Amino acid sequence: MSHVRLTTLTLLPTFAAICTVTISYAWETRLAYPPTDSWMGVFATFIAISGLAAYLHFDAIPGENLTNQPLLKKMPAWLYFLLLTLFFLRAGLWTTRSSVVPYHPVDTLTYEAQVRHDAYLEQASTSKTLGQAADAYRERYKRHPPPGFGYWYEYATSRNSVIIDDFDSIYRDLLPFYAMSPQLIRSRTWQITSNPWHNVLGLSIRNGKVEISPNDYITHRWMLDSIVRMITPFAQWLPDMDLAFNVDDEPSVAVPYDEIEDLRQRALSTNTLDKFPENSFSPNRAEQWTPVLSNPTEYRVMTDLYRQPTFYEFGSVGCPPGSPARDQRLWDVQRVCASCIEPHSKGVFLANWSLAADICHQPDLANLHGLYISSVAFKATHELYPIFSQAKVHGFNDILLPSPWNYIDKSKYGPSDTHPDVPYRNKNHTMFWRGSTSEGISHDFAHHWKGMARQRFIHLSNDIKGPSTPQYVLFPADAARSSLGYRYIPISKSQLTDSFPTDVRVVEEIGRCNGIDCFQQEREFAPIVQPSDFQDQWRYKLLLDLDGVGFSGRFLPFLSSHSLPLKAALFREWWDDRVTAWQHFVPLDLRGHGFWATLVYFAGFEGKVGGKNVKLEPHDDQGERIAENGREWANKALRKEDMEIYLFRLLLEWGRLTDDRRDEIGFVSGPGL
C-alpha cells in the first residue's frame, strides 16, 4: 500500500528531525527561568507521542511485507521504545528542572560563600612567625620573598593584618614582567611617564622619600598626593625606584592572549629558589632610572579610543582565540544570551563572581557596558607596559594598587547623630542609589546610553513607561508551603515597583552625552534630583553599587555600614581576592535580569500575579547577616592599614622586579635587609 509507505517515509524522518531541533534548541535556552523551557517540554512530548502514534498506526496495517520497508522500519521495536523512553526522560527532566527549583539558589549560595570564605581565611594567614611566612611565600610563589620582607612582616603584624600569606593578586599582576628584563621595565616606565598625554604620571622613591615627577597635571594632583601619603609610612624600607601611575579610571594595558600566555610561561621558568640569595637590593639603583623632565616628550605608545567602542580592539584580546568573546557578534540585544549567563549563574542569580568577570564567554557585554560601548577616556596599549591602576576589567594587565580615593576618604563611612547608621532591621525598607550617567559617552544620535549598565539599572528600578519585558521572580511553588520548591513567575515591573520602594536616581544633570541623547535621557530618567549627603544613605537597607568608569569609590564605605550592598560590576580592584560575594555583599549580574528576583528575596513580596496569589517572605535574617559579615570583615581586612600593607608588599616586589640582580637577591632570614 503505497500511501502507507509514503506516510512512513515522511513521518518518521520528520519526527526525528523535529526531535533533534527541539532538543538542540531547548539545550541552548536551558536557562532555568525563561518560559520557553516548560512549553518546550510539552512540545517535545507532543511530538514524541505523534511520532509513536504514526509508527503504531503503520504497524497496524495488515498485509505489508516487512522486507520492503524502508530502513527506519526495520529497526527493532525495542530499540525504538528505548530511544523514546530516553527522550521522554530527557524532556521530563527539563520540564521539572525548569519550572520547579527545589531550593532557593540564594540559600545555597550564601551557605557556599561562608564555606569558601572560611577556606580562604584558613590559607590566607597560616604563618605565625617571620620564618614561617617566608617559607609559606616560597611554597606559594616558588621564589624567595623580596629583600625587606622582614620589615614588611613586622609592619603587617604590628598592624594586626589578618592576611599574611595570600597575596596572590600581586603575584598574578607581576608575574608576566619576570619575562622582561629589569632594564626594559625601567625604560618603559620612563617612556610612559615622560609624555603626560598618556595620563600616566611618575612617582620617584629616592632615599626613602616619595616625589611626584615634574610634568604632572594639576587636576590629578590630589591623587598623586594621596599615593605619596599612602607610601610615606613605609618608604624608608623601599629601594630607589620609579613607578608609573595611571590617573585615568580606565585600565590601559591589554596584551593579546597568546603573547601574555607566552610571557607567563617564560616568567615561570625564571624561578630561582635553589640559589642562596643576597638579602639586599643592588646599590646605585637611582642612576638607573632615566629622570622624567618637566618638558614632555612627544613619543606616544598608546592608542586613544575616546568615545569609541573598545570591546574588540582591547576588551576581548585577552581571551583565548576561538572563545565566544572573540568570535561572536551578538546583534539581538533584546534577548538574554543564555550561553553568556549560564556558566556563572544559578537561574537568574549570579553564582560565581570571579567567573562573571571573565568576559570570554560573554560576547554580549560588548553592548552592555559604557567602557566597551563608548569609552570616556581610554588610552591603552597592547604592549606590556608597567602601569599601576586602581581597577581593571578582564584581560587587562595593569598592576592593581589600592585606590587613593578610598585611602583619603573621598567618600567616607562616617555616620553621626544627624545621620545615624541604625541596625539593619530598623532601616528604611528601600533600595537606594544616587549617581551620574558617567559610565560612557552617548553621542551623535547613537543611543549608546541604552546599553550602559547604570542607565539600564535606573530603568529597571523605576517604573518608566515603555516596552519592558516582565521580570522573572522566584516564588514558592505553593504559596503556603515552601518545602514544595520554587517556581519562576513573570511579573510586570510596575507591579514590582508599586510594592517595593526603590529610590534610584540620577543626580544634578545628565552628563557625558550630547544632542538628542541628552534630552532623551532627561525625559526617561526624570526627575533628576539634587545631590544628597553621602552619610544620609545609612538610612536605607539596600544600597546599590553600579559600575561607572572604573573603581567604585563607595563600595568600601558601603561594606563598613549596617546596610546591605548590592553590586553589579565588571571592574575588579585590589581587594577582590579577600572579599567574598554572597558572604560580604550581594552580587548582581550586569544584565540586570536577576535584579528583581534578588531584591524580592531580601525584601519579600506579596500580591496577585495573573490571578494567583504569590508570596515570598522577606529574608531579613539573611540580609542582616551579609550586611554584618561585610561590616566586620571591612573593619578587619580593608582598613587603611590594609591598603598600606598591600602597597608595601607590592612595592617591595616591584623593587626586586626592577633590580638588575633580581635573581640573586631575596629575603633569607632575620629581620629585614
Ligand X SMILES: *[C@@H]1O[C@H](CO)[C@@H](O)[C@H](O)[C@H]1NC(C)=O
- Binding part of the chain for ligand X, among 198-206, 211-219, 300-308, 348-356 by CB under 6 A, reads 348-356
CB of 670 to ligand X, least distance (A): 38
Stretch that binds ligand X, among 43-51, 347-355, 446-454, 458-466 (CB under 6 A): 347-355
Answer for which of 301, 330, 338, 355 binds ligand X (CB under 6 A) is 355
Residue 237's alpha-carbon distances to 150, 388, 402, 428, in angstroms, are 10, 20, 19, 48
Among 96, 129, 354, 635, binds ligand X (CB under 6 A): 354
The binder of ligand X chosen from 114, 352, 436, 495 (CB under 6 A)? 352
- Please tell me the distance from the alpha carbon of residue 203 to that of residue 660, in angstroms, as a whole number: 20
Q: Residue type for 271, please?
A: N
Residue (565 or 587) nearer to ligand X, CB? 587
Are 189 and 386 in contact by the 8 Å Cβ rule? The answer is: yes
**Interaction mask 105-134, ligand X, x per CB under 6 A:** -----------x------------------
Q: How many of the other CB atoms lie within 10 Å of CB of 622?
A: 18
Rounded least distance, CB 491 to ligand X, Å: 21
The cell numbers describing 472, all together, are 522573572
Q: In the complex, what is the shortest distance from the CB of residue 633 to ligand X, in angstroms, rounded to a whole number?
A: 17
In single-letter form, the type of residue at position 180 comes to: M
Q: Which residues does 336 contact at the CB level (< 8 Å), separation at least 6? A: 31, 34, 591, 593
Nearer to ligand X, 336 or 356 (CB): 356
Report the DSSP beta bridge partners of residue 566. 544, 586
CA dihedral 157, 162, 167, 170 (to 10 degrees): -80
- If you count them, how many residues does the chain have? 673
Smallest distance from ligand X to CB 420, Å: 13
User: What x-and-dash track marks residues 420-439 binding ligand X by CB under 6 A?
Assistant: --------x-x---------
Minimum Å gap between C-beta 396 and ligand X is 19
Pick the stretch among 133-141, 351-359, 477-485, 635-643 that binds ligand X (CB under 6 A). 351-359
Give 352 or 482: the residue with its C-beta nearer to ligand X: 352
Task: List CB contacts of 272: < 8 A, sequence separation 6 or more.
Answer: 143, 144, 663, 664, 666
499 counts as binding ligand X under rule CB under 6 A: no
| Residues 442, 448 contacting (CB under 8 angstroms) | yes
Q: For ligand X, which stretch binds (CB under 6 A), given 57-65, 195-203, 350-358, 488-496? A: 350-358
Minimum CB distance to ligand X, residue 427 (Å)? 9
Q: Judged by CB, which is closer to ligand X: 22, or 502?
A: 502
- What is the C-alpha separation between 520 and 68, in angstroms, rounded? 70
Instruction: With CB under 6 A as the rule, give the number of residues binding ligand X.
Output: 8
Least distance in Å: CB of 537 to ligand X? 10
Choose the stretch contacting ligand X; rule: CB under 6 A; options: 349-357, 484-492, 632-640, 664-672.
349-357
Q: Please select the residue that binds ligand X; options are 92, 420, 423, 501, rule is CB under 6 A.
A: 501
Q: What are phi and psi of 446, to 5 degrees?
A: -85, -10
Residues 6+ positions from 107 with CB-CB distance below 8 Å: 622
Count of C-beta atoms within a 10 Å radius of residue 330 = 16
Site mask for ligand X (CB under 6 A), range 300-339, x = bound: ----------------------------------------
3-class state of residue 604 by DSSP = coil
Longest Cα pair distance anywhere in the chain, in angstroms? 104
Helix (H, G, I), strand (E, B) or coil at 477: strand
DSSP-assigned letters across all residues of 168-192: HHHHHHHGGGGGS-HHHHHHHHHHH
> Cα torsion at 607, 612, 613, 619 (round to 10°)?
-80
CB of 344 to ligand X, least distance (A): 7
571 is written with which cell numbers? 571592574
The least distance separating ligand X from the CB of residue 170, rounded to whole angstroms, comes to: 20
List the interface residues with ligand X, window 505-564 (CB under 6 A). Answer: none
The binding site for ligand X (CB under 6 A) comprises: 116, 352, 354-355, 428, 430, 501, 503
